[in-house]
Amino acid sequence: MIIKPAKRTESVQEYYFSRKLKEIDRMNAERTACGGERIINLGIGAPDGMPPAAAIEALRESASRPGNHAYQSYAGIPQLRQAFADWYSRYYGVKLDPSCEIQPLVGSKEGILLISLAFIDEGDKVLVPDPGYPTYASATALTGAELVPYDLKPEQGWQPDFEALEKMDLDGVKIMWTNYPNMPTGAPATMELYARLVDFGRRHGIMICNDNPYSFILNDHPLSILAVPGAMDVCLELNSLSKAHNMSGWRIGMVAAGAEVISMILKVKSQMDSGMFRPLQEAAVEALSQGPEWFEALNAGYRRRRALAGRIFDIIGARYDHDSSGMFLWGKIPEDCRFLSPEDGAGSSRGEQVSDRILYGAGVFITPGFIFGKNGRDYIRISLCAKPEVLERSAEKIMALA
């Protein structure tokens, strides 16, 4: 390399799934060459179902119009912002002004970095959940801020320990990342939790950044932190069509917040792209118009998959919540798990040992919980984004290994 990379790159590693998928690709190439069965991947939360038919048709029709292939507004077309506002009103009971309180995003993952760049300076502090989505930590590191982890533990239902938070040194903390229904644990959102977060943020001058892409999955009553009175003064919320509409590859998300917050996010975003492809925006309008029957059908499928994933955990001996929300199942590996052995990965976590044993022995990849933080070291996570027959085949292969 002719020049030295920026110092900020030293603070992060290549995303775990990026590295692991390369390894799985190599294993698949070897298996294919000798006629073997490919690795079953139960790691990534990428929905395998089809998006709403109306969205696909809107994309096709809009893409056929010559005028729709030009640069688009950084703020998104008015129809999309209105559709997001209607969606929030209909399902969350939250009134948003589409002209200034909604910013469409290229997926909500983009929003995590945009928010960090817009509000965090080097030396600031950021509260990040442990376990939690790794991008919260990496975005914090890239800004040069100090990551301040806060524990989520099973004895508190994977919710923040507010007594412990109050005892922490919060001087210099500017934002707090939250995510409910929680990934990876599946802990549900409650209005009581959201009210406590709003109160905590207001009293300490901390902006609460709630990441809310799983609110419809295995959950009949989606909730938003913005429904708490006064939340718009202290909170923002990310949301997405990736999970609830089977549109992860379309990269359509949004952030909702007060007008001043949105203007700062747009200031940063406008330096980075030229607006979302208009046919995608028009397709998103159709997707957002789906009625309750869409989500009822979606969740019927996920309930069946959750039960099948639970069968895999039963074979492994992992303990889990049978009624968890979101599109993953989170299971704890006991000390006497039969998939552990003294020679397995000295010094590695229980979750990593079991994940590797099942990957190399049964040809099934299950995510180890350590990638989400130290509180996930004894856990593994199964994605429900696999067809029932794939989950059933996985159970057969793991049972044979046992």
What is residue 8's predicted lDDT score, i.e. its pLDDT? 84
What is residue 230's predicted lDDT score, i.e. its pLDDT? 97
Please, which pLDDT band fits residue 251 given cuts at 50, 70 and 90? very high
- Over residues 133-159, the mean pLDDT reads 96
Lowest mean pLDDT segment, chosen from 113-117, 157-161, 200-204, 340-344: 340-344
**To the nearest whole percent, how much of the chain has pLDDT over 70?**
98
What is residue 14's predicted lDDT score, i.e. its pLDDT? 78
- Residues 46-80: tens digit of each pLDDT: 999 999 999 999 999 999 999 999 999 999 999 99
Please, which pLDDT band fits residue 187 given cuts at 50, 70 and 90? very high
CA distances 134 to 105, 277, 316, 358, Å, are 19, 28, 25, 23
Give the residue extent of every domain in the chain. Answer: 7-49+293-401, 69-290
- Residues 224-235: tens digit of each pLDDT: 999 999 999 999
Please, which pLDDT band fits residue 133 given cuts at 50, 70 and 90? very high
Task: Look at residue 146 and tell me whether its pLDDT is greater than 70.
Answer: yes
The beta-carbon contacts of 70-74 under 8 Å, at least 24 apart in sequence, are: 70/278, 71/274, 71/275, 72/274, 72/275, 72/276, 72/277, 72/278, 72/281, 73/275, 74/266, 74/269, 74/270, 74/273, 74/274, 74/275
What is residue 16's predicted lDDT score, i.e. its pLDDT? 81
Q: What is the reported pTM?
A: 0.94
d(CA 88, CA 393): 39
Please, which pLDDT band fits residue 11 given cuts at 50, 70 and 90? confident
Right CATH for 7-49+293-401 from 3.40.1160.10, 3.40.30.10, 3.90.1150.10, 3.30.870.10: 3.90.1150.10
Please, which pLDDT band fits residue 346 given cuts at 50, 70 and 90? low
* Interacting residues of 33 by C-beta distance below 8 A, sequence separation 6+: none
Mean pLDDT, the chain, as a whole number? 95
Domain at 69-290, CATH class = alpha beta
From 231, 32, 311, 9, select the one nearest 138 (Cα to Cα). 9
What is residue 213's predicted lDDT score, i.e. its pLDDT? 97
Task: Look at residue 192 and tell me whether its pLDDT is greater than 80.
Answer: yes
